[in-house]
Amino acid sequence: MPKIIIILLIYLPIFTLAQNTFQIATLKYNGGGDWYANPTALPNLIEFANKNIGTNIRKDPATVEVGSNDIFKYPFLHMTGHGNVFFSKQEADNLRKYLLGGGFLHIDDNYGIDPYIRREIIKVFPNTNLVELPTTHPIFNGKYKFENGLPKIHEHNASPSQAFGIFIDGRLVCLYTFESDIGDGWEDAEVHNDSEKTRLKALKMGANILEYVFTN
């Protein structure tokens, strides 16, 4: 009698802009880096997106650890920090399953995370490289238009802001915003003393990211 092999895959439910309220989360990682940086960023982005692009995201983002099964509850994970990042094998495997199952990870370089996240993301997708997104990518051409691509929010060393992505079977599963400090621009105005124009630019780009994730 032939053997029947059953393969179980973990998929996230499909989330759309106009559905019932759902929650997004900040990703907590090991290694010593400040995963908790920019605490007012996500709440402010959520408020802006709910008001301007029709999302229905809970105003209180969750915090979830990389290796936890709870990541499958959240369609969008946000990761930031200034220092070291470390993924164990179990954590890398878990994050891979999450992304292959329909989840999305946004990593924001808060000026200092770059060498560590590039090293660790290889554990998640060892055969897939980060590729730069062209300015024609839909993420820059959503409700808000960014003809020059990822906006520069804070200047550190005169390097251009860049957006990199990991694509799996044509789907963008991970966005890495580099040398932009976009998350700083989402924070309360008094945190970095950014102008309203600068904060609005950052929030509009963030809204484009959310719009893209929930419509593609």
Compute the average pLDDT of residues 84-109: 98
Q: pTM here?
A: 0.91
- Which CATH homologous superfamily contains domain 25-215? Domain of unknown function DUF4159 (3.40.50.12140)
Q: What confidence tens digit (pLDDT) does each residue in 101-153 have?
A: 999 999 999 888 999 999 999 999 999 999 999 999 999 999 999 999 999 99
Output the CA–CA distances (angstroms, integers) from residue 168 to 95, 131, 165, in the order listed.
14, 12, 10
Q: What residues does 107 pair with on adjacent strands? A: 79, 176
Q: Where are the domains of the chain?
A: 25-215
Confidence bin at 18 (pLDDT 50/70/90): low
User: 2-6, 130-134, 200-204: which has the minimum mean pLDDT?
Assistant: 2-6
End-to-end CA distance of the chain: 43
Token pair 């907590």: residue: 28
Beta carbons of 73 and 15 less than 8 angstroms apart: no
Strand order from edge to edge, sheet including 62-65 = 62-65, 25-28, 76-79, 104-108, 171-178, 162-168, 131-132
149/168 Cα distance (integer angstroms): 22
Convert 41-62 to b/e letters by CB count within 10 Å (16 or more is b): bbbbbbebbbeebebbbeeebb
Q: What confidence tens digit (pLDDT) does each residue in 22-55 have?
A: 999 999 999 999 999 999 999 999 999 999 999 9
149/157 Cα distance (integer angstroms): 19
Beta carbons of 109 and 178 less than 8 angstroms apart: yes
